């Protein structure tokens, strides 16, 4: 008796069922995303297209939104990768209704509908609320550093940019001398014909750096004038630390990135990266209720804006208002704690860092000691211990499982839209898991 195998016949005419609805199981994430998009309000997407039917036909926005959402949900964000998946991956072909939009079409769709895609976050959150997943009594605030789509080697000072402009001009002059000799040459050089060239971008960044430097100097001078006026009027020196001769803000050389001017070197546990500070607010069920992106490494000063954003999103979703806010020591700022306390929110933010030698460990009395006493209560301490389980796994799942370690887009508005899209697809995955269970 011979060996028994299941034979594979590559000459078979059709390997897939003739009905696209049979290509993936009924409970597959692809069908869930398609059904979820059917429940979303896509008026903002359709509003960009002509109503009279003229012009070249475009892909249905409902199909494109489902394709982008599904791609982000499974960790495929590159437009070229999505284009390949629409040919090779059965689930992508189901979501795309067996259409094959090219990568340029997908990329343009994300750019043109940037704000509308970001607005899907609130609608998905409302779906989670209707499913009973949003319990907003306690919220946790935290952040993670995400790399920008730019290299840190492209950070340049004003002097570097000026030197590059001069070197580029000299190179162009030498090339024109070699090409035309003593003749003038009638064609415009490419850098003058195209307003989006590197030289134009460099000069724009130089103007921005110069404006920032001028604004900082004017702000310092205004502060010095106010102190001098106070001393002249009262005869006493103003309270607070006197200004130093050369403040660090002015002594530090400001650099700007040529590829993504809004990105900054941000500090991570493994060193500095060129990127952004991505903020999240989550509930005990790890549902994201607010998402934002800031520049710079520090979380200080972000507590009130993130709580305010979470309240607005929860109110729009009909989920009620939070009562307790949890955050780590990096969010401590007296003004923020006082403001949230005045709003009758229960704020649990340790004033000291994780080590006893924290920057505020020596502070005694006042707001610092009241917060220490508040956190020392057994019930509050048990509640604060839940913070890591509420929000840290969200970052781990997003970065490790969904492979989101770098933004695709460039510019603060674009990466903020992309981060909200990532948050929306996280909530969609939570909703799908609950529905499957």
What residue spans define the domains of the chain? 20-112, 132-151+269-409, 158-254
Here the tokens at position 179 are 């090409």
pLDDT tens for each residue of the chain, 437 residues long: 667 777 777 777 666 777 777 888 888 999 999 999 999 999 999 998 888 778 888 899 999 999 999 999 999 999 999 999 999 999 999 999 999 999 999 999 999 999 999 999 999 999 999 999 998 889 999 999 999 988 887 777 766 666 665 565 555 555 655 555 554 444 444 544 454 565 666 666 666 666 766 777 777 777 777 777 777 788 777 766 666 665 544 445 667 888 888 888 988 888 889 999 999 999 999 999 999 999 988 899 999 999 999 999 999 998 888 999 999 999 999 999 999 999 999 999 998 765 445 445 555 568 888 999 999 999 999 999 999 999 999 999 999 999 999 999 999 999 999 999 999 999 999 999 988 76
Report helix, strand or coil for 143.
Answer: strand
Q: Whole-angstrom Cα distance, residue 61 to residue 44?
A: 10
Q: Whole-angstrom Cα distance, residue 34 to residue 60?
A: 13
Measured in whole angstroms, the distance separating CA 350 from the mean position of its chain's CA atoms is 26
CB-neighbour burial class of residue 344 (10 A; exposed 0-12, middle 13-18, buried 19+): exposed
User: Please, where are the H alpha helices in 181-318?
Assistant: 190-193, 198-234, 248-251, 303-317
Q: Whole-angstrom Cα distance, residue 294 to residue 298?
A: 9
> For the whole model, what pTM was predicted?
0.79
Q: Whole-angstrom Cα distance, residue 289 to residue 430?
A: 13
Task: List, in sequence order, every beta strand (DSSP E) within 271-364.
Answer: 271-282, 288-294, 324-327, 346-348
> What does CATH list as the number for 132-151+269-409?
3.30.420
Give the pLDDT confidence score for residue 191 in this predicted structure: 45
Report helix, strand or coil for 291.
Answer: strand
Give the pLDDT confidence score for residue 162 in this predicted structure: 62
Token pair 């009262």 is at which residue? 234
Q: Within 13 Å and on the Cβ side, how many CA atoms surround 89?
A: 16
Specify the length of the chain in residues.
Answer: 437
- Alpha-carbon distances, residue 112 vs 74, 91, 417 (angstroms): 23, 25, 12
Helices 61-73 and 103-112 pack at an angle, to 10 degrees, of 100
Give the pLDDT confidence score for residue 133 in this predicted structure: 92
Give the pLDDT confidence score for residue 7 in this predicted structure: 73
Give the pLDDT confidence score for residue 231 in this predicted structure: 75
Whether the CB-CB separation of 335 and 305 falls below 8 Å is answered with: no
């Amino acid at each position: 008796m011979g060996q028994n195998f299941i034979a594979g016949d590559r000459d078979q005419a059709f390997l897939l069922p003739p009905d696209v609805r049979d290509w993936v199981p009924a409970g597959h994430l692809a069908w869930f995303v398609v059904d979820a998009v059917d429940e979303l309000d896509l008026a903002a997407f359709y509003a960009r297209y002509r109503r009279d039917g003229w012009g070249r036909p475009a892909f249905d926005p409902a199909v494109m939104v489902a394709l982008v959402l599904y791609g982000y949900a499974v960790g495929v964000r590159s437009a070229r990768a999505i284009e390949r998946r629409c040919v090779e991956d059965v689930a992508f072909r189901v979501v795309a209704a067996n259409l094959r939009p090219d990568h340029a079409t997908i990329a343009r769709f994300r750019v043109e509908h940037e704000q509308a895609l970001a607005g899907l976050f609130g609608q998905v959150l409302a779906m989670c609320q209707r499913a009973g997943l949003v319990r907003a009594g306690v919220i946790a605030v935290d952040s993670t550093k995400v790399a920008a789509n730019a290299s840190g080697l492209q950070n340049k000072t004003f002097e570097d940019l000026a030197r590059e402009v001069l070197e580029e001009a000299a190179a162009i002059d030498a090339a024109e001398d070699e090409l035309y000799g003593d003749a003038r040459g009638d064609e415009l050089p490419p850098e003058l014909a195209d307003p989006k060239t590197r030289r134009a971008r460099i000069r724009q960044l130089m103007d921005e750096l110069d404006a920032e430097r001028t604004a900082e100097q004017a702000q310092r001078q205004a502060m010095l004038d106010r102190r001098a006026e106070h001393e002249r009027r009262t005869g006493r020196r103003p309270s607070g630390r006197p200004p130093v001769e050369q403040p660090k803000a002015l002594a530090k050389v400001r650099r700007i990135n040529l590829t993504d001017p809004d990105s900054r070197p941000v500090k991570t546990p493994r060193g500095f990266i060129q990127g952004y500070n991505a903020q999240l607010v989550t509930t005990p069920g790890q549902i994201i209720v607010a998402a934002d992106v800031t520049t710079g490494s520090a979380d200080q000063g972000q507590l009130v804006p993130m709580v305010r954003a979470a309240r607005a999103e929860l109110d729009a979703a009909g989920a009620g208002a939070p009562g307790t806010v949890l955050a780590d020591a990096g969010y401590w700022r007296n003004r923020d704690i006082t403001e949230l306390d005045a709003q009758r929110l229960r704020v649990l933010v340790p004033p000291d860092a994780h080590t006893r030698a924290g920057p505020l460990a020596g502070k005694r009395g006042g707001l610092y000691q009241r917060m220490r006493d508040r956190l020392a209560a057994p019930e509050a301490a048990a509640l604060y211990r839940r913070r890591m389980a509420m929000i840290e796994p969200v970052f781990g799942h997003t970065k490790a499982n969904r492979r989101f370690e770098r933004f695709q887009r460039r510019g603060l508005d674009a990466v903020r839209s992309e981060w909200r899209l990532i948050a929306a697809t996280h909530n969609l995955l939570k909703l799908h898991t609950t529905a499957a269970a």
